[in-house]
Structure 1
Amino acid sequence: MAQLIALLQANPKVGDIFGNVKLIERLAKLAAEKGAGMAITPELIISGYPPRDLLLQPDFVNQCYNAGKEINSQIPLLVGSPLPSEPRQRPGNGVIRCGNGEGGREVTRKQLLPTYDVFDELRYFSPDNRPGIVRSMSDLDFGVTICEDAWQHAGLVPSDYEVDPISQLAGWTGQGVILDATVNLSASPFHAEKGGDRVLVARCAAETLGHPFLLCNQVGGNDDLLFDGRSIVAWPDGTCVQAPAWCEGFLLVDLDEPNNCEWHCIENSDCINHGMCDLNRNDGNNEISATESSKEPLSSSDLLNAVSVGLRDYCKKTGLEHIVLGLSGGIDSAVAASVAVRALGPNRVTGLLMPSRYSSEHSVVDAKATAEALGCEWMEFPIETMHSAAETILALELENGDAVAAENIQARLRGLLVMGIANARGAMAIATGNKSELGQGFCTLYGDMAGGYAPLGDLWKTEVYAIAGAINLEYESQGRPLPINNSTLNKAPSAELAPNQRDDQTLPPYEILDEILRCYIEENLSESEIVLRGFTKEIVRSVLERLAKTEHKRWQMPPAPRVSRRAFGQGWRQPLAAKHNWRN
């Protein structure tokens, strides 16, 4: 029987050095019990990815490295860790060979350090100038690369680096260096179009190298970044075996026979797939080009899993055990509540119904129906008394002021209640706004934006509706009442801050708004290029002007799980005091 290699698809906690070491040891032990002769971890697993400015503390880097060298494992490991450098030099993003009584020693450091979108690795690391090679590891010889090192070769980076580590390895094999496989330790963040990209990266590398390529990816959520797992092995003929998404465990790889590969999910690992995990196998007959890979459609259920994992891990890793949110009877709060229940369970979610004089009767009915279908606690606090008192206090200002100021009082009173109850219970309030509203500033600072996390903050409104369908389908398959009823799905979106108010009185229809914003934010198209997509110049200009004028709100939004190619947050760095008369 061929030697089995385990890809440890793990969910580390940033900064928890010793907890992460225990996680590695536990996974390696389980893999060894299933017959693995060696194991590979994700990138920077000892520190957790991304460690951000923790890397500026030399003591943190040294502790990571020292802990990695002391890992106790009966099988040899390739482990991702920060590596110390000389004084006044940035550390390395590297790989340690350890376990099996070997002690620990450095293998290589990452060559290609991305500085685009959410990445800023040159701030923290110094690059290596060549990929690594390990000899006689469980009687096998490997090329060793780290995440981005493999992406240049597939043409999937925004701009080319000066070197291509995969081509370097291929050059060595052409000169007589014989390798059994090449491995890639990865912490590749999720976005909705990335699954096909990662398959292409693995296939391109395997085809060029002429031997199997094994990519071990991190899984789980760390702050706003999500990692879907989907660790992958590709063979030179295009055959691929891919681990499931959103699940912690290990992929056992037989280099000689793809059909012998096995996935093992960790018991009691909080798997969002509820145990429905399986390998994705491809025999190599499906050709994937770089263009096609980036257009691979993503199911609504996968998006639902993504935001659920983001919220779950944010709470789990910060020690928060309860969520409080406003329930308005609208689609956003119904979906946000459903995600919260999926993440923490119904007993750890409280919905607040806070009707005003402008709330319709069906809004209260629908909000109660959502809470009861989800099985979570709900409380009702009509805000009329508070609203009237605030109007009396501010009467002189409101009489001659902007009408929006009067409307926002209601949102801020609701924010006061949500935050007050969350604080009293030691819980976290979550904001329920979506990317479409945030992109237009169609939200209230210190009102509906109040909260510690925004699970829908990188979902377009049209995607929120799609996820609602996935939620209902999940409940329907279990024979349970639907948490998002037809009334909620079919009503015209409204903030209900004024009589007979509807979103489309201020904004274009969401199917138009979402596409204009997506073209500008995710594709970087100009105003004139967006018009050529079939939109009127007036609508495009009004959307982009509103986007620019409301940037201050997005600087103050809670973290949101990134599910798109470009999200508000680290990958969207816009000035506040700026003029936009250059746009055309």
Structure 2
Amino acid sequence: MVRPRIALAQIDTCVGDVTQNSAAVRAWARRAADAGADLVVFPEMTLTGYPIEDLALRASFRRGAEAALLETATALADDGLGGLAVLVGTIGERDGRPTNQAVLLRGGVVEARYDKHHLPNYGVFDEFRIFSPGQDPLEIEVAGARLGVVICEDIWQDGGPVSQLRDVDALVVLNGSPFEEGKGHVRTELAARRAHETGAPVVYVNLVGGQDDLVFDGGSFVVGADGTVLATAPQFVEHLLVWDLGEPGPQVPPLDPDEEIYRALVTGLAGYVRKNGFRSVALGLSGGIDSALTAAIAADAIGGTNVVGVSMPSVHSSEHSKDDAADLAKRIGADYRVQPIKPMVDAFEAQLDLDGVAAENLQARVRAVILMAISNREGHLVIAPGNKSELATGYATIYDAGSIGGFAPLKDVDKSRVWALARWRNNHAVDRGELPPIPESSITKPPSAELRPGQVDQDSLPPYALLDEVLDAYVEHAEGRAELLARGFDPAVVDQVLALVDRAEWKRRQYPLGPKVTALAFGRDRRLPVTSRWREP
């Protein structure tokens, strides 16, 4: 029986950096060859990065990508890798229109091309608008084996190129499949169905890394013709998974759900910082759970010494909050600074007659001014610690320290999950014999903005456990008022939450990017008009 060795190279690419992406292909191809591979498979749109969005419509970009492709083919041969089959994703062109393409490089030349057939047009995807669909299937020969080649969405839709592939020894799938919680088993179950249809194993290689508000988790795998998982790669790291056709391969255990989400957030922030040329981040440290978890994520993403934590106490800040902020900074090794806001607030209030909410919001916005000033002076990326529950209900001061900056790690994490992730991170540290990064009191004390005496979040919102349950039904599952009442939710709670969510769309439009980790994140996934008079009956 023919048994070629196939290497699955799940690598981290950057959109538009065709030179560095090409260098990565060469480096990982060398590793594959050293491992004895006959074929190395890279993810979808490897050379261009993914998703490229409207860059696809620029002829100059397409020319640059094609030049990089041809240079890569030549360079591989020059590197002594001409005998290795290299399957790589890039942008193609047909009849003047861009295509999402898989290309086989071998012997220093482009040997075959395949254009993606099914172009997704839902959720975070808009490929149908920018690409032209392919029409022809592709089979390639490697070490005597016949391998079918498709790209990502081609296996998610029934029919199409997969149905045209028969008597192949394996089906190879190039993917740029973004992470969302629970998606891993959906992928393997889908691949198992396609394996059954073709009567051949499915080789699934996926992109890894952060790209704007998307996180790619890798998790490449192979399933056998009978649906058995034969080999798996770890999530959230670059990795070369080597598999011999017809044989079982290496496997890694799945991650705990909270660890999976946490590592997705770390990956998303690390990718955004690195790919946008930053070396450090700054955020306000209030002593509360949101800023504490955000700081811990930042420390894990780029190192605690590259995190600037600024405590900005007001006359309403409690001593325990200030102590917790200092304790957190010490635990993660952050650059910790204290900048009281009272003199600045007093200066504003000497010129403006403010009270009530206006006075509270002034304090929050002064903190934002301080963070942005430090950012401008020292070059840090300001990150926002706000969470999905606050963003959903508009329970945040626009342009304050919780919502300004370039990236928001917790944007797609509701408050209940914030506590769960903090608990997981601390327990993970204990299991490793390390100091937990988050002070226990930051986790256990009632959350408060501390903008007035005795303030707690539950003065204005339902308890978070209840709030998040209603938000999940209304936002992520698009259930209306009638459906929520049928579930048994209190009408007063339903009406309050729906009114808050509907009125806050304008705030959400101005919020920073943040990593998508659920099935429906604010931003690409949920697009509603800011100006709308529709209210749930």
After TM superposition, the score normalised by the length of structure 1 is 0.88
Alignment map for 1:263-282 (pairs within 5 Å): 279-280=252-253
CA distance in 2, matches of 1:167, 1:252: 27
In 2, are the aligned partners of 1:332 and 1:433 still within 8 Å (CA)? Answer: yes
Residue 335 of structure 2 corresponds to residue 377 of structure 1? yes
In 1, are the aligned partners of 2:233 and 2:239 still within 8 Å (CA)? Answer: no
Match among 278, 282, 286 for residue 320 of structure 1: 278
Alignment partner, residue 449 of structure 1: 403
Alignment partner, residue 93 of structure 1: 100
**For residues 450-483 of structure 1, what are the alpha-carbon distances to aligned partners after superposition, in whole Å with 9 as ceiling and x for unaligned?**
1110001110101110110121123223433322
Listed as ranges, the gaps of 5+ residues in structure 2 are none
Match among 373, 379, 383 for residue 420 of structure 1: 373
Alignment map for 1:415-494 (pairs within 5 Å): 415-447=368-400, 448-494=402-448
CA distance in 2, matches of 1:138, 1:61: 32
SS of the residue corresponding to residue 506 of structure 2 reads helix
Match among 139, 150, 153 for residue 145 of structure 1: 150
In 2, are the aligned partners of 1:366 and 1:488 still within 8 Å (CA)? Answer: yes
Alignment partner, residue 284 of structure 1: none
Alignment partner, residue 274 of structure 1: none
SS of the residue corresponding to residue 304 of structure 1 reads helix
CA distance in 1, matches of 2:71, 2:269: 33
Letter of the 2:34 partner, please give it. Answer: E
Shift of 1:200: 0.8
Match among 190, 203, 206 for residue 217 of structure 1: 206
Alignment map for 1:164-563 (pairs within 5 Å): 164-169=160-165, 173=166, 178-240=167-229, 241-258=231-248, 261-262=249-250, 279-280=252-253, 299-395=257-353, 398=354, 403-447=356-400, 448-563=402-517
Q: How many residues align?
A: 526
Output the aligned Cα RMSD.
1.5
Residue 31 of structure 2 corresponds to residue 30 of structure 1? yes
Alignment partner, residue 118 of structure 1: 124
**For residues 55-101 of structure 1, what are the alpha-carbon distances to aligned partners after superposition, in whole Å with 9 as ceiling and x for unaligned?**
111121122123223323311111111102223xx311011111333
Alignment partner, residue 84 of structure 1: 93
CA distance in 1, matches of 2:52, 2:264: 21
Shift of 1:147: 0.3
**For residues 6-52 of structure 1, what are the alpha-carbon distances to aligned partners after superposition, in whole Å with 9 as ceiling and x for unaligned?**
11101001100011011011001001101111111100111100111
Residue 32 of structure 2 corresponds to residue 41 of structure 1? no
SS of the residue corresponding to residue 237 of structure 2 reads coil
Letter of the 1:48 partner, please give it. Answer: G
SS of the residue corresponding to residue 36 of structure 1 reads coil
In 2, are the aligned partners of 1:326 and 1:333 still within 8 Å (CA)? Answer: yes
Alignment partner, residue 54 of structure 2: 53
After TM superposition, the score normalised by the length of structure 2 is 0.95
CA distance in 1, matches of 2:9, 2:56: 24
Shift of 1:486: 2.3
In 2, are the aligned partners of 1:69 and 1:96 still within 8 Å (CA)? Answer: no
Letter of the 1:140 partner, please give it. Answer: A
Listed as ranges, the gaps of 5+ residues in structure 1 are 154-162, 263-277, 282-296
SS of the residue corresponding to residue 279 of structure 2 reads coil
CA distance in 1, matches of 2:280, 2:67: 36
CA distance in 2, matches of 1:485, 1:228: 29
CA distance in 1, matches of 2:11, 2:44: 10
Letter of the 1:17 partner, please give it. Answer: V
Letter of the 1:148 partner, please give it. Answer: E
CA distance in 2, matches of 1:478, 1:141: 46
Residue 138 of structure 2 corresponds to residue 132 of structure 1? yes
Letter of the 1:366 partner, please give it. Answer: D
SS of the residue corresponding to residue 357 of structure 1 reads coil
CA distance in 2, matches of 1:100, 1:218: 25
Letter of the 1:137 partner, please give it. Answer: V
CA distance in 1, matches of 2:106, 2:461: 59
CA distance in 2, matches of 1:202, 1:465: 34
CA distance in 2, matches of 1:14, 1:104: 22
CA distance in 1, matches of 2:281, 2:403: 15
**For residues 257-293 of structure 1, what are the alpha-carbon distances to aligned partners after superposition, in whole Å with 9 as ceiling and x for unaligned?**
11xx24xxxxxxxxxxxxxxx6349xxxxxxxxxxxx
**For residues 377-413 of structure 1, what are the alpha-carbon distances to aligned partners after superposition, in whole Å with 9 as ceiling and x for unaligned?**
1101111111111112111xx25xxx22211101100
CA distance in 2, matches of 1:138, 1:569: 46
CA distance in 2, matches of 1:167, 1:298: 35
SS of the residue corresponding to residue 209 of structure 2 reads strand
In 2, are the aligned partners of 1:7 and 1:39 still within 8 Å (CA)? Answer: yes
CA distance in 1, matches of 2:37, 2:224: 19
Shift of 1:249: 1.6
SS of the residue corresponding to residue 488 of structure 1 reads helix
In 2, are the aligned partners of 1:65 and 1:84 still within 8 Å (CA)? Answer: no
Question: For structure 1, which segment, 59-68 or 491-500, has the greater mean C-alpha deviation from structure 2 after superposition?
Answer: 59-68
Letter of the 2:127 partner, please give it. Answer: E
In 2, are the aligned partners of 1:192 and 1:298 still within 8 Å (CA)? Answer: no
CA distance in 2, matches of 1:481, 1:63: 49
Letter of the 2:374 partner, please give it. Answer: I
In 1, are the aligned partners of 2:4 and 2:142 still within 8 Å (CA)? Answer: no
**For residues 147-167 of structure 1, what are the alpha-carbon distances to aligned partners after superposition, in whole Å with 9 as ceiling and x for unaligned?**
0110124xxxxxxxxx44322
Shift of 1:105: 4.2
Shift of 1:106: 4.2
SS of the residue corresponding to residue 532 of structure 1 reads helix
| 1:60 to 1:105, Cα distance in 2 relative to 1, 3 A | farther
Letter of the 1:59 partner, please give it. Answer: S
